[in-house]
């Protein structure tokens, strides 16, 4: 019995370490971004960035008045608690372990009594009658207490300790709780971390690939696709092994070249694996086709009467013929059977299992096309550009158009005919029940976010999935990186960056500045400030770097320009604030690169050609996919760069370490150590 008790104690300790609180981006309870409304709130003091509008403010006032609290001090406390739903961090304050609460997590410090707001609430309101009290255990997702007609805290809860154990939460660094005021993060900034002195690359393959997706089985394999329409399953060598990418070009996993229209702006744009691909073999591709060559590819034109656009008036210089080219999302199968698994099948059938969506493109550029599955929700996200040409029809702001949007589909449930008709769906998918059209009836149901020009490469942070990052291509002046949130409006074509944009022509009308609340970018660059190649600029979005191969890059968001003379690392200071400082990163090629790098004539600097995409494998190592080949970020010392956090042993390959001062990595280390102790104890006990 003693052994079991000790084991339970150790297990509980390990569990508590594993659930140590971690911050995410400021988000509202519906997972949308807080915005600044032009009409000030009259009841709740949350003007500026807030999760409430005037209607929410009025409803909170009515709830407060219904409580009939006569004691002034308690009334003041209750008002602040109810109004905290307007706080930019309300998603964290009101949701614990996926359970929605009626009151926020009140600060309940076990370290210092100076921030124990929960005890203040108890002491102030414990003997005050509160009609329709929100403080019952059941309203916080806990088991209900026995029926009691009283609505005083002292009659609902046995003690202040019981009350704060349920209503309260930690008030320490890296946690979010409510202390009576707008949440202000008490986080040590990482401003002492110097920008990296340089990014070291090794080239592991020649060949031009447009997309890369890690296999879902956790192995060292990944899928690579090219713009022509071919997909390969490749084995990735270990860092420092001296080997190149193992990829058999003569044996593609999937060949769609007969279906794909390949040109400068067209092709196989993206691939995605179903989260359960290793079991079900479901494979998705986003590509362009030509309806004059393949009539079966034709779909509804994105220029139509619903969005005030007449296809017959599209000029010949913007499209060969109205919506001749299409954007397609289709599903294929690796033919998993009961006796085999997708993880060992080398090919997939080029015959579509299901056409998810087909959309005719009014112009020949800015149609993005990336697809990826959300890590938490399992839904398929589809990025679509505005069509190009400065968006003359204002598609990006038109809520009835799917152009200039990020869409979100449920591809696990086939819609009924009545649902397709009722919602006017464009293809064979269902609509997730929490898509923002539920709150905004003007939106098409597929839309997750709007106001984008050409979202070129998006990713979810592997450590903080609420950070959904997209690089959005600019027009004349500015390239940007956005944090995408539910129903977020990113300003285009009203704004380019933070500057008001004036279109050359606007047959589709304009959107007034006062009618939108744009979410501006968190990173970006002006065309005039970069070393441009061929007189152009176009952003390529990347990833948060979460590998320890280069510990000085850890936690940085990496992105670059298509023309590959500029790479950036964005550091968030403080963490989880949404405030980024960017630095231009010098990059070099390791002299022992498995495949020799192409160098700029007369120098030792690598020339990447065009930077198409970034990729990430199951070890979180990051790759650059360019027109000249596949490059991987490796330890900085291999290029002669200095990183204070990189440890190495004489004569051996550099051994990366976690960044100094990273609480999340320290936590992981503590958990691993405790787990080893726990397993050792179990072994000794039995």
Per DSSP, what are the bridge partners of residue 230?
Answer: 255
Q: Hey, what's the torsion of the CAs at 525, 529, 534, 535, to 10 degrees?
A: 100
3-state secondary structure of 426: coil
The pLDDT of residue 274 is above 90:
yes
pLDDT, residue 108, reads 87
Top pLDDT among 681 and 278 is at 278
Look up the pTM and report it.
Answer: 0.83
Res 356: pLDDT? 97
CA distance 543 to 556: 8
Secondary structure of 527-562 as H, E, C letters = HHHCCCECCECCEEEEEECCCCCCCCCCCCEEEEEC
What CA–CA distance (Å, rounded) separates 220 from 249?
18
Q: Provide the 3-class DSSP secondary structure of residue 76.
A: helix
Please give the radius of gyration of the chain, using alpha carbons only, rounded to the nearest integer. 27
Q: How confident is the model at residue 69 (pLDDT cuts 50, 70, 90)?
A: very high
Average pLDDT across the chain, whole number: 85
Q: What confidence category does residue 319 fall into, taking pLDDT thresholds of 50, 70 and 90?
A: very low
The answer to whether 417 and 399 are in contact (CB under 8 A) is: no
Q: In this prediction, what percent of the chain has a pLDDT beyond 70?
A: 82
pLDDT at residue number 532: 65
Pairing relationship of beta strands 268-273 and 282-290 according to DSSP bridges: antiparallel
In this structure, which long-range contacts are made by residues 493-501, counting pairs with CB atoms below 8 Å and at least 24 apart in sequence? Answer: 493/386, 493/390, 493/391, 493/394, 493/396, 493/397, 493/404, 493/453, 494/397, 494/451, 494/518, 495/520, 496/453, 497/521, 497/524, 497/526, 501/475
Stretch 281-297: mean pLDDT: 94
- 186 pLDDT tier (thresholds 50, 70, 90): low
Taking the C-alpha atoms of residue 493 and residue 309, their distance in angstroms, rounded to an integer, is 16
Nearest-10 crossing angle of helices 54-66, 72-83:
150
Range with lowest mean pLDDT among 29-43, 70-84, 118-132, 279-293: 29-43
Tokens of 78: 């209750």
Is the pLDDT at 5 greater than 80? The verdict is no
At residue 316's C-alpha, the angle toward residues 311 and 321, to 5°, is 50
pLDDT of residue 321: 77
Of the pLDDT bands very low, low, confident and very high (cuts 50, 70, 90), residue 7 is: very low
């Amino acid at each position: 019995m003693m052994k079991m008790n000790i084991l339970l104690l150790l297990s509980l300790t390990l569990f508590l370490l594993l659930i140590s609180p971690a911050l995410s981006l400021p988000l509202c309870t519906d997972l949308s971004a807080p915005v600044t409304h032009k009409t000030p709130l009259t009841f709740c003091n949350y003007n500026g960035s807030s999760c409430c509008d005037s209607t929410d403010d009025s409803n909170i006032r009515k709830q407060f008045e219904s409580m009939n609290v006569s004691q002034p001090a308690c009334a003041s406390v209750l008002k602040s608690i109810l109004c905290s739903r307007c706080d930019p961090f309300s998603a964290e304050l009101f949701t614990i372990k996926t359970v929605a609460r009626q009151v926020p997590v009140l600060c309940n410090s076990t370290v210092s009594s100076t921030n124990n707001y929960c005890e203040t609430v108890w002491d102030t309101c414990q003997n005050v009658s509160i009609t329709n009290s929100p403080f019952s255990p059941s309203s916080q997702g806990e088991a209900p207490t026995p029926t009691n007609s009283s609505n005083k805290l002292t009659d609902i809860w046995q003690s202040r300790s019981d009350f704060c154990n349920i209503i309260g939460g930690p008030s320490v660094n890296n946690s979010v709780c409510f202390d009576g005021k707008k949440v202000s993060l008490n986080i040590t900034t990482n401003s002492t971390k110097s920008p990296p002195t340089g990014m070291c690359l090794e080239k592991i393959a020649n060949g031009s690939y447009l997309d890369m997706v890690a296999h879902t089985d956790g192995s060292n394999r990944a899928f690579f696709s090219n713009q022509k329409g071919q997909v390969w399953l490749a084995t990735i060598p270990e860092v420092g092994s001296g080997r190149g990418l193992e990829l058999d070009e003569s044996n593609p996993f999937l060949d769609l070249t007969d279906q794909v229209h390949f040109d400068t702006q067209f092709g196989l744009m993206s691939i995605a694996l179903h989260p359960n691909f290793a079991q079900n073999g479901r494979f998705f591709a986003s590509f362009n086709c030509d309806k004059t060559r393949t009539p079966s590819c034709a779909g509804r034109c994105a220029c139509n009467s619903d969005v005030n656009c007449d296809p017959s008036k599209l000029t010949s210089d913007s499209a060969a013929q109205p919506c001749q080219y299409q954007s397609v999302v289709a599903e294929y199968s690796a033919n998993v059977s009961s006796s085999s698994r997708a993880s060992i099948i080398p090919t997939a059938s080029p015959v579509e299992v299901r056409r998810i969506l087909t959309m005719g493109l009014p112009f020949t550029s800015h149609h993005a096309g990336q697809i990826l599955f959300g890590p938490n929700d399992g839904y398929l996200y589809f990025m679509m550009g505005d069509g190009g040409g400065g968006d003359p029809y204002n598609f990006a702001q038109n809520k009835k158009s799917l152009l200039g949007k990020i869409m979100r589909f449920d591809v696990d449930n086939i819609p009924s005919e009545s649902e397709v008709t009722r919602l006017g769906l464009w293809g064979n998918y269902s609509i997730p029940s929490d898509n923002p059209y539920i709150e905004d009836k003007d939106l098409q149901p597929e839309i997750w976010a709007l106001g984008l020009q050409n979202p070129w490469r998006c990713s979810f942070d592997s450590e903080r999935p609420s950070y959904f990052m997209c690089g959005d291509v600019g027009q004349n002046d500015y390239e940007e990186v956005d944090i995408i949130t539910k129903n977020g409006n990113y300003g285009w074509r009203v704004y380019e960056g933070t500057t008001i944009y004036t279109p050359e022509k606007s047959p589709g009308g304009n959107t007034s500045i006062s009618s939108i609340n744009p979410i501006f970018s968190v990173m970006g660059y002006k065309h005039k400030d970069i070393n441009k190649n061929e007189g152009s600029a176009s952003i390529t979005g990347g990833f948060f770097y979460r590998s320890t191969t280069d510990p000085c890059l850890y936690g940085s968001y990496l992105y670059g320009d298509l023309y590959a003379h500029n790479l950036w690392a964005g550091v968030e200071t403080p963490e989880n604030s949404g405030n980024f400082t960017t630095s231009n990163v010098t990059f070099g090629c390791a002299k022992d690169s498995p495949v020799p790098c192409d160098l700029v004539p007369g120098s030792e600097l690598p020339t990447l050609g065009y930077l198409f995409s970034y990729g990430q494998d199951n070890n979180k190592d990051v790759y650059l996919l360019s027109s000249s080949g596949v490059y991987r970020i490796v330890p900085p010392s291999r290029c002669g760069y200095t990183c204070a956090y990189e440890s190495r042993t004489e004569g051996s390959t550099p051994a990366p370490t976690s960044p100094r001062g990273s609480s999340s990595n320290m936590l992981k280390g503590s958990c691993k150590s405790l787990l080893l102790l726990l397993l050792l104890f179990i072994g000794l006990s039995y």
